[in-house]
Amino acid sequence: MLLGDERAAVCDYARRMTADGLVVGTSGNVSMRVEDLVAVTPTGVAYESLAPEDIPVVDLYGATVDGSLRPTSELPMHLNVYREAVDPDGSAINAVVHTHSVHATAVSTVTDEVPPVHYILATIGPSVRVAAYATYGSTELAESMLAALDGRRGCLLANHGTVTYGADLSAAYHRARQLEWACQVWLLARSAGNPRLLPPAEIEHVVEKLRGYGQR
């Protein structure tokens, strides 16, 4: 099967999104890129029933290469990331995760930018922008998202959800969960008062520390 391992991974992470409360029903989507091919969740199919053969494979311009199901309606966003986005460190972008997580979506309705309320946001950028609203699945939304991603590894979509990317699905998914957690913290802090923010120099310092984080 073409991209068999990647299609299986897309199934696994789609189910994880549901289990972790990042999506409801068939909302949200996941993709993996291998060179000029992308394995991506299909539109309107319950994640618990997904099998690798249900995952469409498309090229970087959206033409179906393998699979009988139509890809997600948000395919323009995924392809815009792969074709146009640039990782701040110049790393490869091989995975995209789009969620409708509750706290992040709530935050997207009340602000244009999530400030550095916690150092974990440094995994995405100095702040998290909110892309201007556009109808789901539209090229306008894909362009709005791309502008919000400039210099960032993730963004919020106004009145919609989140997008994060990474060198692999693990990294992209980890950022989606961290972004949801940070948005929950920001909402709680805002409900209690005016949150203290970390200065830009500290975020830059954390970025450097994170480059050596974990086992090597």
| pLDDT, position 26 | 87
With cut-offs at 50, 70 and 90, classify the pLDDT of residue 215: low
**Which tens digit of pLDDT belongs to each residue from 33-65?**
999 999 999 999 999 999 999 999 999 999 999
Any bridge partners for residue 64, and if so which? Answer: 58
Beta strands at 57-59 and 37-40: parallel, antiparallel or unpaired? antiparallel
- Closest-CA residue to 40 (of 87, 79, 93, 1): 79
- pLDDT, averaged across the chain: 95
Asked if 142 contacts 77 with a C-beta cutoff of 8 angstroms, the reply is: yes
For 4-210, the fitting CATH number among 1.10.760.10, 1.10.1060.10, 3.40.225.10, 3.40.50.1400 is: 3.40.225.10
Query: Which of the residues are catalytic?
Result: 74
| pLDDT, position 214 | 56
- Closest-CA residue to 39 (of 62, 21, 63, 55): 55
| pLDDT, position 212 | 61
Neighbour-count burial for 35-45, b at 16+ CB within 10 Å, e otherwise: eebbbbbbbeb
